[in-house]
Amino acid sequence: MDGSKQLFPGNIDEAVDKLLSELSFKDKTKIANMSEVGLIKLNISYGIYIRNEFRLWGNESMLASCGAYAGVNEISPEQASYIIIKELWEKLQNSNVLKVVK
């Protein structure tokens, strides 16, 4: 497979960029306005998609990237998907998506 495009993201930034390119403005806004507790709930549903889409059960470079981000040597696919969701949320917090004014 020399010279061919990598099938799955190999690090958190690539994963977040891929998710950002796929999410609708409505979904981006919804995630940006979530609390951190909401992110845990989101990982139960959207995390399944992320784990399957990015093959987190065997994507060693992605697991290593998430582990380095968390400061741990070993990380589960469930923990990795939460880290990706949290990084997505943080990126959306700093973007121009609509935020609820209180």
The per-residue pLDDT string of the chain (102 residues; one tens digit each, 9 = 90 and over) reads 344 446 889 999 999 999 999 999 999 999 999 999 999 999 999 999 999 999 999 999 999 999 999 999 999 999 999 999 999 999 998 887 666 555
The pTM score is 0.87
Query: Where do the structural domains in the chain lie, given as residue ranges?
Result: 12-93
Q: Which residues contact 43 (CB under 8 A, 6 or more apart)?
A: 78, 81, 82, 85
pLDDT confidence of residue 94 = 86
pLDDT confidence of residue 4 = 40
Nearest to 88 by CA among 37, 34, 16: 16
pLDDT confidence of residue 3 = 41
CA distances from residue 61 to 25, 67, 91, 97 in whole angstroms, order as listed: 29, 10, 21, 30
